[in-house]
């Protein structure tokens, strides 16, 4: 039997939410868990009850922001803004890529 760990649970969650086939199911299930009165540790216990909700909410926000950033990422080629800038650069401009020492 495979060892159960928090890391393996996190990896499963991350892989499931990034899979286009299951992405929205995992997002909806995570949101339903957050509003559901049924928890792993009930919210009746002040701090302990909020830990599982905080972990799920943190994972959900992190993964949704990652999905949003991937959608906002420019496509292949030069974006329209950079094309305008590239066309206004004259021959006396030097592009330098510096490295920190």
Residue extents of the structural domains in the chain = 6-74
Q: Please tell me the predicted confidence (pLDDT) of residue 3.
A: 66
Q: Please tell me the predicted confidence (pLDDT) of residue 7.
A: 85
Please say whether the beta carbons of 13 and 62 come within 8 A. Answer: no
Report the pLDDT averaged over residues 37-47. 77
| Confidence band for 10, pLDDT divided at 50, 70 and 90 | confident
| Three-class DSSP category at 30 | helix
Rounded-to-integer distance, Cα 60 and Cα 73, Å: 20
Of residues 25 and 75, more confidently modeled: 25
Q: Please tell me the predicted confidence (pLDDT) of residue 2.
A: 59
Q: What percent of the chain has pLDDT over 90?
A: 0
Report the pLDDT averaged over residues 54-73. 85
Report the pLDDT averaged over residues 1-14. 76
pLDDT at 81 over 70: no
CA 70, 76, 81, 86 dihedral sign is positive
User: Which of 4-8, 31-35, 36-40 has the highest average model confidence (pLDDT)?
Assistant: 31-35
């Amino acid at each position: 039997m495979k060892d159960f760990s928090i890391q393996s649970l996190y990896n499963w969650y991350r892989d499931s939410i990034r899979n286009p086939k299951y992405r929205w199911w995992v997002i909806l299930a995570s949101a339903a868990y957050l509003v559901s009165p049924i928890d792993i540790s009930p919210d009746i216990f002040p701090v302990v009850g909020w830990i599982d909700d905080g972990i799920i909410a943190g994972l959900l926000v992190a993964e949704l922001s990652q999905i949003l950033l991937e959608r906002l990422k420019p496509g292949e080629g030069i974006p329209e803004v950079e094309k305008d800038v590239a066309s206004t650069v004259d021959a006396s401009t030097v592009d330098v890529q510096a490295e920190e020492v």
